[in-house]
Amino acid sequence: MNATNAELFARAQAAIPGGVNSPVRAFRSVGGTPRFLVSAKGAYVTDAEGRDYVDLVAGWGPAILGHADPRVVEAVQDAAARGLSFGSSTPAETELAELVEARVAPVEQLRLVSTGTEATMSAIRLARGFTGRDLLVKFAGHYHGHSDGLLAEAGSGLATFALPGSAGVPADIAALTLVVPYNDLDALAAVFAEHGDRIAAVIVEAAAANMGVVPPAPGFNRALVELAHANGALVISDEVLTGFRVSASGWWGREARHEASAYTPDLMTFGKVIGGGMPVAALGGRAEIMQRLAPLGPVYQAGTLSGNPVAVAAGIATLRGADAEVYAKLDAAAETISEATSAALAAEGVAHRVQRAGNLFSFVFGEALATAEVRDYATVLRQESWRYAPFFHAMLDQGVSLPPSVFEAWFVTAAHDDAAIARIVDALPAAARAAAA
Ligand code: PLP
């Protein structure tokens, strides 16, 4: 008899803080027992009790081809058979850099790291080293990993020097981060007017998806780049989540199609899809800036596992596999699932709004938010977030695994076929009833 999820969670809690290696996995915001997964294939994950679930987490984004895609698994097995880690350069690292540079024009050079946190942390150091300035601007509700200066939340008012956002972050470090409401160019201009000559960079999620999905207002990214450049600051566009997911060239590529919205960030960060489920992330951008990194320049950055050959093999296979047909499937699945969910909620009288950024989507609940654009964190926080837990558990009970928090995007894969989508659609009425209660 296999151990149950509850038994595994109890054991994990004794051995691991909170029983998890990343907090949201603990189900704190929805309650109940996290599922301990033992395998995943296509659109499905299977837990230790042998139950399978249609998965809308997709490893928090990387699995665009579906879990354990044979092309990716084979590439990983081949690479592993040739050695797990060399601590030396490999041809494959250049191949991955070239693949990214061919798709995302602002990336003239790329440096591989292992996590999104490392990518943004290194990009900020590089921006500071390049500009010789020390302040960083971020937007409230945007997540860029867990490095000290980036956990800062917004204080009250137009923009404030940030509070740390986590115990253990020295106030002096947090004070180097200025937090501004998202999609608010006036607030950003005010910050530049006051501190412009000290601001090294503005870091921004290309489309916000870590407070639920909150897309940038039309032209926002472009205006933000213009404002930063007018003040001698760089822009770091964080595409850890959106990169190679919302299009072959990420969110940047979607906006580059239209002259009115096209923008050129100085640095960009990637993660998730670029590693196809293995630990690969990257920072890239203008060669003039990238060449300030060691060994060419004075900005130090390094990693034992950076460009790991097994991980890079997964990234290359994933990017190569993600052709136009894959993106068409992701878009179609996102459309069908978000519309069906919205219809089910409406049928039960649950006021809500669908938030979309390409094939990323999520829902905000409540009458007040249903009727107006949701453009910032303060608005997102005003929703009836308590409706999500019963909705989530009703879906889980029917074999559909959603992100265990209302503040996360739902992730589809190209393996979400008619059968997987039918299971989701069939589960929705009961979940919507639970949300209505
Ligand atoms: N930046 C964004 C936009 C993210 O969504 C994330 C993770 O969700 C990160 C950075 C941090 O990446 P990692 O969890 O790989 O450190």
Region of 152 (left: φ > 0; alpha: ψ -120 to 50; beta: rest) is beta
Same domain assignment for residues 200 and 338: no
List the domain range (segments joined by +) for residue 360: 5-64+323-436
Name the helix (H) or strand (E) containing 14: helix 5-15
3-state secondary structure of 182: coil
pLDDT value at 31 more than 70:
yes
CA of 309 to the centre of ligand 1 (A): 21
Within 8 A by CB and 6+ apart from 67, the residues are 40, 41, 42, 43, 44, 45, 55, 58, 59, 277, 413, 415
Residue nearest to atom 13 of ligand 1 (CA): 116
Pocket test residue of 240, 246, 278 for ligand 1, highest count of atoms within 8 A of CB:
240
Q: In angstroms, what is the span from residue 221 Cα to ligand 1's centroid?
A: 19
Ligand 1 centroid to residue 208 C-alpha, Å: 11
Last residue of a domain, one of 321, 354, 389: 321
Residue 240 and residue 384 in one domain = no
- What confidence tens digit (pLDDT) does each residue in 320-362 have? 999 999 999 999 999 999 999 999 999 999 999 999 999 999 9
Separation between Cα atoms, residue 270 and residue 283, nearest integer Å: 6
**Number of domains forming the structure of the chain:** 2
Q: Which atom of ligand 1 lies nearest, measured to the CA of 22?
A: 14
User: Is 415 within 8 Å of 405 (Cβ atoms)?
Assistant: no
Q: Are residues 381 and 268 in the same domain?
A: no
pTM for this structure?
Answer: 0.97
Which atom belonging to ligand 1 lies closest to the Cα atom of 210? 5
* pLDDT reading at 151 higher than 90: no
**Who has greater pLDDT, 2 or 367?**
367
Distance 60 CA to ligand 1 centre (A): 9
Sheet with 267-270, side-by-side order of all strands:
109-113, 281-285, 267-270, 234-239, 199-205, 135-139, 177-180, 160-161
Same domain membership, residue 50 and residue 107: no
* Nearest atom within ligand 1 for CA of residue 238: 3
User: Could you say which of 44, 53, 143, 327 is catalytic?
Assistant: 143
Catalytic residue among 272, 327, 329, 376: 272
In terms of domains, do 43 and 116 share one? no
Among candidate residues 47, 55, 238, 266, the one labeled active-site is 238
Q: How far is the CA of 176 from the centre of ligand 1 (A)?
A: 20
Domain identity same for 385 and 332: yes
Quick: pLDDT tens for 58-114.
999 999 999 999 999 999 999 999 999 999 999 999 999 999 999 999 999 999 999
Residue spans of beta strands (DSSP E) within 49-198: 52-55, 109-113, 135-139, 160-161, 177-180
At 209-245, the pLDDT tens digits run 999 999 999 999 999 999 999 999 999 999 999 999 9
Shared domain for 194 and 332, answered yes or no, is: no
Encode 227-277 in three state secondary structure.
HHHHCCCEEEEEECCCCCCCCCCHHHHHHHCCCCCCCCCCEEEECHHHHCC
Q: Are residues 52 and 148 both part of a single domain?
A: no
Give the pLDDT score at 153: 59
- CATH code of 391's domain: 3.90.1150.10
Residue 277 sits in the same domain as residue 134: yes
Task: Quote the pLDDT of residue 163.
Answer: 54
CATH number assigned to the domain comprising residue 175:
3.40.640.10
Q: Report the C-alpha gap between 196 and 204 in whole angstroms.
A: 17
List the one residue out of 301, 21, 307, 36 whose CA is nearest residue 146: 21
Give residue 118's pLDDT: 98
Euclidean distance between the first and final Cα of the chain, in Å?
A: 37
The span from the CA of 345 to the CA of 405, in Å, is 17
Q: Which of 24, 117, 213 is the pocket-test mutation for ligand 1 (most atoms within 8 Å of CB)?
A: 117
- Could you give the CA distance from residue 435 to residue 31 in angstroms, rounded to a whole number? 15
Higher pLDDT, 196 or 293: 293
Count of CA atoms in the C-beta half-sphere (13 A) of 97: 19
Tokens in use for 264? Answer: 């050129």
Active site residue 172: no
Residue ranges lining ligand 1, Cβ < 6 Å:
60, 115-117, 120, 143-145, 205, 210, 238, 240-241, 271, 281
Give the span between the Cα atoms of 180 and 156, in whole angstroms: 10
Q: List the one residue out of 409, 366, 19 whose CA is nearest residue 211.
A: 409
Of 30-44, 163-177, 388-402, the least confident: 163-177
Domain boundary among 321, 355, 377: 321
**Residue 182 annotated in active site:** no
Q: Which of 298, 321, 344 is the endpoint of a domain? A: 321
Yes or no: say if 20 and 12 are a contact pair by the CB < 8 Å rule.
Answer: yes
**Does 327 lie in the same domain as 315?**
no
Return the number of other C-beta atoms located less than 10 Å from residue 424's C-beta: 25
How many Å lie between the centroid of ligand 1 and the Cα of residue 145? 5
Q: Which amino acid is at 56?
A: L
238 is catalytic: yes
Cβ atoms within 10 Å of 42's Cβ, excluding its own: 20
Assess whether 162 and 33 both reside in one domain: no
Q: Are residues 278 and 213 in the same domain?
A: yes
Which atom of ligand 1 has the smallest separation from the CA of 242? 3
